[in-house]
Chains A and B, each alone.
Chain A
Amino acid sequence: MKLREIVELLDGVLLTDAEHLDREITCAFGSDLISDILMCTKEATLLLTGLTNPQVIRLSDMIDLLGIIFVRGKKPADDLIEMANARDLPLITTKFTLYKSAGILYNSGLRSCKI
């Protein structure tokens, strides 16, 4: 599934470079606990989270993230968006909750990442 479709499905807004919309997304994972995210992601994945601190972007240096969806209307500060652009990491914000966002994407055929 293209990131463009995900943005549409979640009625979201892309915060990083527009070229990110053509990125192919193969699977997803959702959590607000960093250790969970580190422990559970065995392949490159899209992350759905409510965390908006710099460590969320730093996470993408340790594990392969295809992009981050900030749920519950959360929007990271501008310096985080810069950090993400420097890493070529797409960031999206949606007003939907983690549960609703995950449900919509799962029902649209986006599978869970291997854990």
Chain B
Amino acid sequence: MAVYCNISEDAQQKYEHFTKEKPNPEMSIEYKVGHKDFVNSGKASSEIKLMLKRLGVNPEILRKVAVASYEAEINVTAHSLGGDIICDIYLDCVHIKFIDNGPGIKNLEKALEPGWSTADDLVREMGFGAGLGLPNIKKNADVMHIESAENQSTILQIIVFY
């Protein structure tokens, strides 16, 4: 099992506080993501953004959450057999977990390299597969945590503080 974790410098203290306090989420929502369902993919991220907007989260943070979540949702659609998204909304952050049904990432280190992609022709025709998904998630999320192995589920978690 390969694990990768990135915590942005600005978020270190907030993240330590968050893991120590283990608060209960104010709201928790689940979504399903279908394998290669490019018609509906993105709906969950768009709903999450709308919910946070209603809660008064500022536009720059909204953009970061939406971009990171959307890239992750597309990854589940494009590269996995489908999966679930669990979104927990807290007073000072949003924690989104993407759990797919496999087949897992063969080489996590490579997958994190900008430009590296295993996308098929269908995915590329849709405008994806540039190998920028995970780098874009890393750039926009305050915390990014991935665990995966070949023939297993991939679990990607992101946290963005407001």
Contacts and interface: CB of A to CB of B under 8 A. Distances in A.
B54 to A, nearest CB: 14
Most buried by B among A51, A56, A62: A62
Sort chain A's interface into a size bin. Answer: 10 to 19
Main secondary structure, interface of A, reads: helix
Interface in A58-86: 58-59, 61-63
B126 interface: yes
Given A53-B38, A61-B45, A63-B67, A39 B139 contact: yes
Contacts of B63: 62-63
B128 interface: yes
Most buried by B among A33, A34, A56, A59: A34
A51 to B, nearest CB: 4
A63 B67 CA distance: 8
A71 to B, nearest CB: 13
A56 B42 contact: no
Nearest to A57: B42
Interface of B: 38-39, 41-43, 45-46, 49-50, 63, 66-67, 70-71, 74, 125-128, 130, 132-133, 136, 139
Interface of A: 32-36, 38-39, 49, 51, 53-56, 58-59, 61-63
